[in-house]
Amino acid sequence: MKTTLMLLAIAVCLLGCQPTEQVQSFSGAAQGTTYHVRYWSEQPISQPAFQRAVEQELQRIDSLMSNYRNDSVIEKFNQQHTTDAINVGPEIVQLVTIAKQISEATSGCYDLTIAPLFSLWGFRDQQLTIPSEQQRAQLAPQIGLNLVNIVATEQLAKSHPAVSIDLSSIAQGYSVQRLVDIAKQYGISNYLIEIGGELQTQGSKPDGRHWRIAIDKPLPQQQQLQKIVDVIKPEPLAIMTSGTYRHYYDQAGNRYSHIIDARRLAPVSHSTVSVTVFHDDLSEADAWSTALLCLGSAAGMDVAKQYGLSVLFIDQHQDTFTEYSSTALQHNRAITLTQPQYP
């Protein structure tokens, strides 16, 4: 589950062919959350046509990758208990390829096949159930992205017939990418496009000011600011945040997060509660934010250094939050991070 990056000063929806050099916006519901598009163009844009194209694409992706639709392509793949090759199309194969690389980089902590563990631990039914070692061991043979084989550019096969894939940790980033592609088709090169807090910016505002985003303080059931991000560079930049603090259970003095370590078949137990990744690829950024949250700041910092990733980790110790910036983030000239100022 992704946390929310709060967009600053989201404008109301405006319709029709818009005048040039004004920030326009529209928004809607998508993928169990909301989306927002802010943009401006030197040429008039038919906003109703642009919005229709965006919503049609979101519906198309939902029909491919939603794990909450029995008729989606990925759920049909999950329902077929066979080791034969199954056609899923090039987009899903592309995302599985990226996920495999990031899974390997995290020694298997990040994994798309953990869907049965969400049910086992009660996150699907909104009721914590702590499974026995025997119950976890029974599921172990069908957990592991190495059990999903890329047969061809449009086909996957399972090594274990009961393997299932959950794309939620990477599909939203890909969805933003597809909306970005649509913006390009309309000749838009200055935008902030966001789905459920996952976003990409390009260019600037009409007056030359930077796009500005706020990162939430990782507090459950509250909305305070932890950091303000000014995007300095005009080139596309993906900003993705994952957190443990929106979906968890407390029981007997222990906290059980929905972020599950596939190696342990159990929720993570470290103190990292939020990870923000700044990257030039949306799908990779989405997967990395979850993967590094799975690892936690200690192990995640080593991986971020190895792969040159710009990452902000936030750990919680009782009521205190501590930030850790990767080396690449410390030297990242594309953004500036500042503390919010309160009166």
Q: Which residues are annotated as a binding site for Mg(2+)?
A: 169, 286, 290
Q: Report the C-alpha gap between 268 and 114 in whole angstroms.
A: 13
Name residue, tokens 């049609």. Answer: 56
**Contact between residue 3 and residue 257 where contact means Cβ atoms under 8 Å apart:** no
Structure tokens at 163: 């393997």
**Binding site residues, as ranges?**
169, 286, 290
Phi first, then psi: give them for residue 317, nearest 5 degrees.
-125, 105
What's the gap between Cα 60 and its chain centre? Answer: 18
Instruction: Give the dihedral sign, CA 151/112/241/22.
Output: positive
* CB atoms closer than 10 angstroms to residue 206: 14
Residue 269 DSSP class = -
Amino acid identity of 96?
Answer: V
Distance (Å) of CA 192 to CA 59, 95, 186, 293: 20, 23, 15, 25
**Contacting residues for 209 by C-beta, under 8 A, at least 6 apart:** none
Q: How far apart are CA 269 and CA 295, in angstroms?
A: 10
How far is residue 146's CA from residue 300's CA, in Å, rounded to a whole number?
21
| Beta carbons within 8 Å of 34's beta carbon, 6+ residues apart | 27, 28, 195, 196
